[in-house]
Structure 1
Amino acid sequence: MSSVTLTKESHKNPSKFRIKYQDCNAVLGPEHTAQKNIRDELPTVRTSSEVAVIGAGFGGIGAAIKTIQDLKVSEVQIFERYDNFGGTWYANTYPGCASDIPAIWYSFSFALTSNWSRVQPPQYEMEEYIQRVAAQYKLKEKTRFQTSIDKSVYNEDTGFWTVYAHDVKTGQKIEHTTKILLSCAGGLVYPNQLNAPGLENFKGKYMHSAVWDHSVDFKGKNVVVVGNGCSANQIVPALLNDPQYSVNSLTQIARSKHYIMPPVPKILLFVYRLLSFNFYGLALIRWLVILIAELRFPLYKGNGLISKVVRWVNTRASVSYMKKYAPKKYWDLVIPDYKIGCKRLIFDYQYVPALNDPRISLTNVGIKRVVEDGIILENDEFVKADIIVACTGYDVKQSTKIQFSTTKGYNNQEMWTKEGVSAYRTVLVKHLPNLFVIGGPNSATGHASVVMALENGIDYYLKLAKPVVEGKEKSVVVKPEAYDKWHKDIQEELSKSVFGTKFGGCVSWYSDEKENATAFGWSQLYYWYITHFPAYKDLVYEHSDKKRD
């Protein structure tokens, strides 16, 4: 364990810490050209490793480091579609993009940072941290960048996975054989593009917040922002207040409402700087943040006295903040009437005060159609637009469509289509040995750090994979009945929660009409417990052609 000191080079030159627009658009744009660029005429590259990792964001980096450090495995191969580390923090570079969770918690527990510039630092500083950690552990030599995964197949006879991939630039196919496969692909990746009639006729510039084109000049332009979630909360004040953008007008179409909490108290930054003198001081402030966040957890579950009290306190804090700083004319458009936590909480930077800017117009009237020079709202009002920005979120289901199968016919896509998307303790999928999904189904929490959730999954993988790595066992897989019970239990638990349910009173990306495959049903501390104390009775280890419970 060590502390990381940032050079803050990212503040001087942010462009060095973000993906090129054309590369991002090839992977995440509407056409997905990078995934389609496969050339059969080129010779196939064949490689192998003991452990293979899909993705080089927080999950993939953490998994690789822990594999090398804790399992003493040197043969690790990371596959990444982009040309650098970071995942979402490398690809999402819109104005105002920043961590919504305090960075002391939204970072690796084994690589805490002593000099964050803010409690919730900007994207480029987060990306500098990720690159700094990757460099410290020399991961570049173990990473194949600009490589897209097509499918992965497990051979039950040999006990090895074959990963089928291709180079997104050349189209050359790759076949990689590995004993253990880690999927760290992330969830909030593929953007939901704006689905509005006539968008193809728009003569101005259209972009999704997840694929930002920094070459576009916003100064003096009329901008329409569609959406009102976390991304819009950061983009809107940046377009209004940052001299680099300084738009002429901004019309925000907000069809939904969100509970916007007051900014993180400034005292946290003071305490952080006071305790940042060594690693133990940083660990102390990290656990303090975790404790405060966990105290908020009851608002997400049930209707008991404690839940009601915590829910009331947080609802009052949010509504009071919005009423204090937002113009009264917008109260009905921004203050929700569902239970707090049903949609992800937003900790405000400058969005609510920005609603007082005379250049902004907020409406909940939807788009009837897009025309050459603007949009026509459903009430037939015309809004002039030079630029349309879609803050319409992500297609979470698309992130689960990576295919894992076996030579005997098991397939995660078929199972998930028939039974629902799930993973035992968020990590293991039945019938798929030696596959560990880090940040898998039901690993997200509405109040906690995704990095802590990823580390929980990684620590669970380390415990389960150790006998396989040491050669004592051929493979490990969850028992089907344990997998099915977990799926049933967590869905029952989530039905009592506010996460996009009838109980919560809202529609959310957390869940669909069938189930919630996104959120974790209990507290983050309980997540830590179940991933650090495995129930080995729920697992099957295979050794010398014999299965051992």
Structure 2
Amino acid sequence: MGLIENDAGTTITNGYVPSYKYPQRYLGQARPIRIVMVGAGVTGIAAVKLYKDVFPQREVEFVIYEKNDDITGTWLENRYPGCACDVPAHAYSYSWEGNPRWSRVYVEALELYDYYKGRAAKYGIQEFVKLNHRVESTTWDNEAGKWVVNITDLKTGESFRDEAELFINGAGFLNNWKWPEIPGLHDYKGKLLHSARWDDSYDFKDKTLAIIGSGSSAIQIVPQLQPVVKHMTSINRSKTWITPEFAAEFAPEGRAAFFSEIQKDNWEKNKDEYLKYRKSVESTMNNFFPMQFKNSDSQKAAYENFQKTMKERLGYNEDLISKLVPEFEVGCRRITPGHGYLEALASHNVTVRNDNIERVTAEGLKMADGSIIAVDALICATGFDTSYRPNFPVIGFNGDLRDIWKDEPKAYFSLAAAGIPNYFIMSGPNFPLANGCLIPCLETNIKFAFAAAKKIQYDGIKWLSPKQDAVDDYQEYKDSIMEDLVWTGSCASWYKNGKRDGKVWGPYSGSSLHYLELMSTPRWEDFDIEYLARNRYDFLGNGRTRRELEGGDLAYYVQEPGAGLSQESS
């Protein structure tokens, strides 16, 4: 009698396949799984709240590894002078819970830290997060159907491994700060600082300094330090649109717009009035996407208005106008409402240069024209690694995602990658980071990952990952619509890998509302799926349901208009 094993692992005897035997469990009986997440920032904190909503019986294990000794991510790490939220704080709260006691419209880093720290305590994050734990690598074990995660306890130096059916990378897109690649940078003997690793103990009073960068961090730092230093040299290698405050109609006094105690008390007591205010702010933030189309009327109007106001704020100084006012489309690079920035650059104790740095010396900067700028302090406001490659090896079916995305990060709607099973990215490539509301889009990423977890848990699935052709089709669509959006304009930007003609992998290819609607219902038809059993319908079990076996309303679907009998719906 010949024995053969087929691809499904079923033994065939003389060409006969034994009949399938159903399992002894009911339909909807969940299997235990574990989720590992990296990062306890704004997204990680939200994940704890949503985890409790989605898995109220704790039938799924959940742990978050955080490399820092505290939570909140961005608002813990970024404490440079002037660090604040660009958008109104009431549009930078979780969708399910605002904060009626924000001190002002545009709040600073410490207040944001306190708020999110408070939300984390309320949601009980301490039960799930392990601080001072750095993920070193994660590898998919297909035989076990699990991620093998290698972790270092940064306090003890000990390494260990964890395993999970699903892995969520919530490290964030502006997390891995980096020094600029300038020869001799670490030969400098003065005070060297990076905007993402600030030293509050250094006194800038009467010092000479140079600041490299013209992005959002530099734009917030410059007006804070200009009044106290002896002299500042600002190296503006790229032009940036400096705009009025976002949703400025809610802050007529700009950054000085504080809320009174009477107003905060009223919002706290009158929930309907507060909700109306929150929705009005959020609606305004979601109503500027038409400006992102290159030839739209709103784009043309913004170009004219912002150019005019920038020239005014520079005192019509032609030298500064030539160095600072962009000619490219508004929004091609990140637009920033720079409160006091242009006025600071036009001050008597500031020199603006836009020529190249040849190298850093022990005393300061040697410029391409041979001149030396000697300074007491050198600030690098040069940002982060924006390649979207993970900070650690993520090894799936086709190797390390860092290698796969070496030249271009191609994601499935920002949150997953082909060939990387049961892996979800929070705010990955082409996420709505400049498209309208931000926080709800982070929330929908978490919800999508948890929906995948439930599908894996209840439908007998070993793994799922987006099909390569689904990823390719989205990339084709995205590249097509981007041709009409400002991000493919005539500037060089990190949105497109620092190039003028690169593909856009920063913002999403539509409005934030477009993204929320798209992601609200997972398109599982876009995913490759492997089941735990040979028969994909193994999850149907023994033909019974939980209601039948454990008690419940066996006529839950029967309704009668006007009847007062309570109806069980689950």
Deviations 1:214-254 (A, max 9, x none): 1212111111111111111100011124xxxx211111111
Larger Rg: 2
The AA in structure 1 aligned to 2:231 is: S
Question: Which of 137, 157, 166 is the equivalent residue of 2:123?
Answer: 137
Q: 1:402 to 1:101 in 2, by over 3 A?
A: farther
Which stretch shifts more, 112-121 or 490-499?
A: 490-499
Deviation (angstroms), 1:78: 0.5
Deviations 1:300-332 (A, max 9, x none): 2353xxx2x110222223222212222322222
1:4 aligns with none
Equivalents in 1 of 2:209, 2:478: separation in Å?
Answer: 42
SS at match of 2:165: strand
SS at match of 1:206: strand
5 Å-filtered alignment, 1:39-438, equals: 50-72=34-56, 74=58, 75-241=61-227, 246-264=228-246, 265=248, 267-268=250-251, 275=267, 277-303=269-295, 307=296, 309-329=297-317, 330-397=320-387, 399-406=389-396, 410-417=399-406, 420-438=408-426
The AA in structure 2 aligned to 1:507 is: A
Any stretches of 5+ residues in structure 1 without a counterpart? 1-47
The AA in structure 1 aligned to 2:357 is: I
Equivalents in 1 of 2:535, 2:107: separation in Å?
Answer: 49
Equivalents in 1 of 2:316, 2:459: separation in Å?
Answer: 67
Deviation (angstroms), 1:532: 0.2
Any stretches of 5+ residues in structure 2 without a counterpart? 1-31, 252-256, 538-570
Aligned pairs, how many? 489
Deviation (angstroms), 1:401: 4.4
TM-score normalised by length of structure 2: 0.80
Deviation (angstroms), 1:410: 4.5
SS at match of 1:441: coil
Which stretch shifts more, 255-264 or 78-87?
A: 255-264
Q: 1:319 to 1:409 in 2, by over 3 A?
A: closer
Q: Work out whether residues 64 and 78 of structure 1, in 8 Å CA contact, stay in contact via their aligned partners in 2.
A: no
Equivalents in 1 of 2:106, 2:177: separation in Å?
Answer: 23
Deviation (angstroms), 1:409: 5.0
Question: Which of 493, 503, 511 is the equivalent residue of 2:496?
Answer: 511
Equivalents in 1 of 2:201, 2:389: separation in Å?
Answer: 28
Equivalents in 2 of 1:230, 1:522: separation in Å?
Answer: 23
SS at match of 2:134: strand
Question: Which of 475, 479, 496 is the equivalent residue of 1:487?
Answer: 475
Q: Work out whether residues 463 and 531 of structure 2, in 8 Å CA contact, stay in contact via their aligned partners in 1.
A: yes
Deviations 1:39-58 (A, max 9, x none): xxxxxxxxx97221111111
Deviations 1:347-379 (A, max 9, x none): 122212223432222221222333333323333
Q: 1:415 to 1:198 in 2, by over 3 A?
A: closer
Deviation (angstroms), 1:161: 1.6
Equivalents in 2 of 1:435, 1:300: separation in Å?
Answer: 31
Q: 1:161 to 1:282 in 2, by over 3 A?
A: farther
2:556 aligns with none
Deviations 1:152-192 (A, max 9, x none): 12222322222111122332112011122111111112223
The AA in structure 1 aligned to 2:490 is: G
The AA in structure 2 aligned to 1:253 is: I
SS at match of 1:97: coil
1:536 aligns with 524
Identity across matched positions, percent = 28
Q: 1:426 to 1:282 in 2, by over 3 A?
A: farther
Which stretch shifts more, 522-531 or 482-491?
A: 482-491
The AA in structure 2 aligned to 1:498 is: V
